[in-house]
A and B are shown apart, each in its own frame.
Chain A
Amino acid sequence: MPAFVLLTVMTALRILSRNRLRAGLTMLGIVIGVGAVIAMVSIGQGARAAVQAQVASMGTNVIVIMPGSTTVSGVRGAQGGAVTLTINDAAELKKRSPLLSDTGWAKRDVMQIVNGNRNWNGPVNGVSPSYLTIRDWSFTSGGPFTQTDMDSAARVALIGQTTLENLFDPGEEAMGATIRIKNVPFQVVGVLAPKGQSAQGTDQDDVIFIPFTTAERRVFGSQFLGSVGALFASTEQSGDLPEAVEHIRETLRLRHRLEPDQADDFTIRTQVDIGKVQESTSQTLTVMLFAIASVSLLVGGIGIMNILLVSVTERTKEIGVRMAVGAKRIHILTQFLIEAMTLSLFGGLIGVIVGIVGARLTTVIAGWPTMISVDAVLTAFLFSLAIGLFFGLYPANKAARLNPIEALRYE
């Protein structure tokens, strides 16, 4: 049998190479179908990877808790307007939920920042040292401020890349420089590594971090000491996120003395929620392309079946001869199936190349991120083989069922 299969493959290759144009046209449907699948998955994966990178730039397994909106005589303010969340909430959350590996907090305001003769209007964040760990900020120079800085309300600042570019001349040393925020001098002790756009499209590098205590006492002038703009928490495992969210909800409802029929006065979001929106968009695109690819593969399969039926008719006499010298039905069946699969396999191979080139071109021309997926390439490839098998079955069976005498007599 191995010798039979090998020789049959060689025969199939020779027969196909004799009719290159015909074989090429037959394969076209498969080429387009497989190419579309590869390109589509690459674009889909690229988009997903970009979203994931954005979501990951938030930090790992981060939970964000925002205060709810204020309600004053029926008129509702913006989300985050209320001052219901406090430092004590953060401490209590950590105590109550063993799933939370860390909690932190932040409060922000947009302020004038001055360095010498340059100034910049940007968000200033008073944060706990743990916040920097939760959000996974890293540094290009210097490092984070410490709990000691926090306790002593030290006037130290960490600046993001965008802020750096706006406050300092190119090449000017930022580390150790003194900048003024609302006329209070701060020493720059760290420059943050860039994170790029957030999932919402805001520039995450346009930022200054100062210790929360310093912000509260010297810069923001808070009305309610200890109230924060947002709480942050993280878990060790991403699988713990849903349960941790429930813990947080229970704890906060308890601490805020909410009756069972009252709505939460806070909102909890995780990275997972944020990523979902973006993914649904790229899924729509994927479904559309998948439909196109399916139709194309179907048409390709029918093309293969058609050309094989022609081939069986053309070679009726040859089939008769083969039967006369002892070919069994299974031999004839296998021969035509192998021819069908060779066609679809080559179609698949060319399709893979077309798909990869197409994905690259999409990146180069349209600037979309793409990612070639080995899984998709393998699947498309196997799928094209399966199409050859499926659509080759009918013509091959027709050939195998020929009557040897009639086949021999066929002109």
Chain B
Amino acid sequence: MAPLIVCEDLWKIYRIGDVEVQALRGINLTIDRGEFVAVMGTSGSGKSTLMNLLGCLDKPSRGRYRLDGLDVSTANPDLLADLRNRQIGFVFQNFNLIPRTSALENAQLPLFYRGVSIKEQRRQAAAALQRVGLAGREQHYPAQLSGGQQQRVAIARALVGAPSILFADEPTGNLDTASSREIMDILEHLNREDGITIILVTHEPDIAAYASRELVMKDGQIVQDVRRAPHLSAVT
């Protein structure tokens, strides 16, 4: 089977005034379906930029990125939106739920833009909330939920469209240890049981330990790429 993600000599160059910033400098990367990848690196190493590119939020300045066989480097904004909607789920550090909107409606959001009937949106969103252990909290607003619960709503939202990849950008950065473990357990379960590819950005080694592959970035390049058996006892 063809790999899910193929990057060939990927560059991202920003121009701030007269200064040129090379955020990514020739990334070559292949990720297979079902992998659990942790991307590590100091801030400014280019890991967020890589996430944005892989997540179809941005386009590379140079190089080629193929997602599931489709060349994304040249896609127009609407096609990118469609790819994000169908192939990709995002989990952010600060949850990014829509305020004063119920957990159910937050979880419905990707289906809302897919043109699914309201009834079907509700059914699938409720099922997604159940998968992350939030059955019965459908009508709660984000402000009425704990951080861990909010992140679980965000995971439900990422899951609801049955994506092939889930991008988690510091998903535990704003959570205490117990909630962090809950979230990571859910992600691990999704990877192992449902075969969802997970790409996790983190700078915490014990969170990265959940992954089966670890990339380390520095100055816009991948300096280390290690595959290993996931090390569950690291956090237990």
Cβ contact within 8 Å between B78 and A408:
no
Q: Which of B36-44, B90-98, B182-190 contacts A (4 or more CB under 8 A)?
A: B90-98
Interface residue stretch chosen among A1-9, A202-210, A380-388: A1-9
* Closest CB in chain B relative to A401 CB, distance in Å: 9
Contact (Cβ within 8 A) A331 B113: yes
- Please tell me if the beta carbons of A18 and B81 are within 8 angstroms of each other in the complex: no
Q: Are B112 and A328 in contact (CB under 8 A)?
A: no
Q: Give the nearest-CB partner of A7 in chain B.
A: B112
> A225 at interface (Cβ–Cβ under 8 A)?
no
Q: Which residues between 352 and 411 of chain A lie within 8 Å of chain B, taking CB atoms?
A: 404-405, 408
Are A4 and B81 neighbours in the complex by a CB distance under 8 Å?
no
Q: Give chain B residues whose Cβ lies under 8 Å from the Cβ of A14.
A: 100
Closest A residue, CB atoms, query B58: A405
Known: A324-B57, A326-B82, A328-B78. A3 touches B110 (CB 8 A): no
Identify the closest chain B residue to A321 (Cβ). Answer: B96
Most B CB contacts (10 A, CB to CB) among A7, A14, A323, A326 go to A326
**A78 contacts the other chain (CB 8 A):** no
Closest to A330 in B: B78
Q: A18-B100, A408-B96 are in contact. Are A325 and B116 (CB under 8 A)?
A: no
Tell me the complex Cα distance, A404–B58, Å. 8
| Contact of A249 with B by CB under 8 A | no
| Contact, CB under 8 Å: B115 / A4 | yes
Residues of B contacting A329 in the complex (Cβ-Cβ under 8 angstroms): 77-78, 81
Most chain B Cβ neighbours within 10 Å, of A3, A323, A325 = A325
Q: What A residues does B99 contact at CB under 8 A?
A: 318
Contact (Cβ within 8 A) A6 B118: yes
B115 touches A327 (CB 8 A): no
Q: Does chain A have a CB within 8 A of B152? A: no
Complex formed: what's the CA distance from A183 to B98 in Å? 97
Whether A218 sits at the interface, judged by CB under 8 Å, is no
Whether A326 contacts B117 by the Cβ 8 Å rule is no
* Cβ of B109 under 8 Å from chain A: yes
A405 & B57 in contact (Cβ 8 Å cutoff) = yes
Inter-subunit contact A325/B117 (CB<8 Å): no
What is the CB-to-nearest-CB distance from A332 to chain B, in angstroms, rounded to a whole number?
10
Q: Shortest beta-carbon distance, A326 to chain B, in Å?
A: 2
Instruction: Check B85 for interface membership: any CB of A closer than 8 A.
Output: yes
Known A18-B100, A331-B113; contact A325-B85, beta-carbon cutoff 8 A:
yes
B142 to chain A, nearest CB (A): 12
In angstroms, Cα B109 to Cα A321, docked, is: 9
Minimum distance in angstroms from A311 CB to a CB of chain B: 13
A329 vs B76: C-alpha distance when bound (angstroms): 11
Question: Do A4 and B113 form a contact, CB below 8 Å, given A324-B57, A328-B78, A329-B77?
Answer: yes
Cβ of A326 and Cβ of B115 under 8 Å apart? Answer: no
Task: Say whether chain A's binding surface is mostly helix, strand, loop, or mixed.
Answer: helix
Cα of A6 to Cα of B108 in the assembled complex, Å: 14
Contact B117 A324 (CB under 8 A): no
CA distance A405 to B118 in the complex (A): 28
Does B84 reach chain A (CB closer than 8 Å)? yes
| Chain B residues in 8 Å Cβ range of A108 | none
B85 / chain A contacts, CB cutoff of 8 Å: 325-326
Q: Which residues of A contact B115 (CB under 8 A)?
A: 1, 3-4
Collect the chain B residues with CB atoms within 8 Å of residue A331's CB: 113
Type the 1/0 row for A119-152, where 1 means its CB is closer than 8 Å to any CB of B: 0000000000000000000000000000000000
With A321-B98, A322-B109, A405-B57 known as contacts, the answer to whether A328 contacts B81 (CB < 8 A) is: yes
Give A162-185 as 1s and 0s: 1 = Cβ < 8 Å from B's Cβ atoms: 000000000000000000000000
* Interface flag for A317 (CB, 8 Å): yes
**Across the two chains, which residue of chain B brings its CB closest to A323?**
B81
**Contact status B57-A326, CB under 8 Å:** no
Most chain-B Cβ atoms within 10 A of its Cβ — which of A3, A7, A329, A331? A3
A347 CB → nearest B CB, Å: 24
Q: How distant is B114 from chain A, measured CB to nearest CB, in Å?
A: 7
| Beta-carbon contact of A327 and B96 below 8 Å | no
B136 CB, nearest partner CB in chain A, Å: 23
From known contacts A325-B90, A326-B86, A326-B114, infer whether A404 and B96 are also in contact, taking CB-CB under 8 Å: no
| Interfacial chain B residues near A321, Cβ < 8 Å | 96-98, 109
- Asked whether A317 lies within 8 Å of B52 as measured between CB atoms, the reply is no
Q: Chain A residue with minimal CB distance to B99?
A: A318
What is the distance, in angstroms, from A379's C-beta to the closest C-beta of chain B? 34
Once the chains bind, are A317 and B77 in contact (CB under 8 Å)? no
> Is B47 an interface residue when CB atoms closer than 8 A count as contact?
no
Shortest distance from the beta carbon of A322 to any chain B beta carbon, whole Å: 7
CA of A326 to CA of B98, assembled, Å: 15
Question: Using Cβ atoms and an 8 Å threshold, which residues of chain B touch A18?
Answer: 100
Complex alpha-carbon distance, A17 and B121, angstroms: 24
Q: How far is the CA of A6 from the CA of B90 in the complex (A)?
A: 26
CB pair B116 A3 closer than 8 Å: yes
User: B64 at the A/B interface (Cβ < 8 Å)?
Assistant: no
Q: Among the listed A3, A6, A7, A328, which residue makes an inter-chain contact with B82, where contact means beta carbons less than 8 Å apart?
A: A328
- CB-CB nearest 9 A-B residue pairs: A326-B85, A328-B81, A325-B110, A326-B113, A321-B96, A326-B84, A328-B78, A3-B118, A325-B109
Task: Write 30 A-B pairs (CB below 8 A) sorted by A numbering.
Answer: A3-B116, A3-B121, A4-B112, A6-B118, A320-B96, A321-B96, A322-B98, A322-B109, A322-B113, A323-B81, A324-B55, A324-B57, A324-B84, A324-B90, A325-B109, A325-B161, A326-B81, A326-B110, A326-B114, A326-B161, A327-B81, A327-B113, A328-B77, A328-B78, A330-B78, A404-B57, A404-B58, A405-B52, A405-B57, A408-B92
Which residues of B line the A interface, CB within 8 A? 52, 55, 57-58, 77-78, 81-82, 84-86, 90, 92, 96-100, 109-110, 112-118, 121, 157, 161
A322-B98, A325-B109 given; name 9 further pairs at CB < 8 Å.
A322-B113, A323-B57, A323-B84, A326-B82, A326-B161, A329-B77, A330-B78, A404-B58, A405-B58
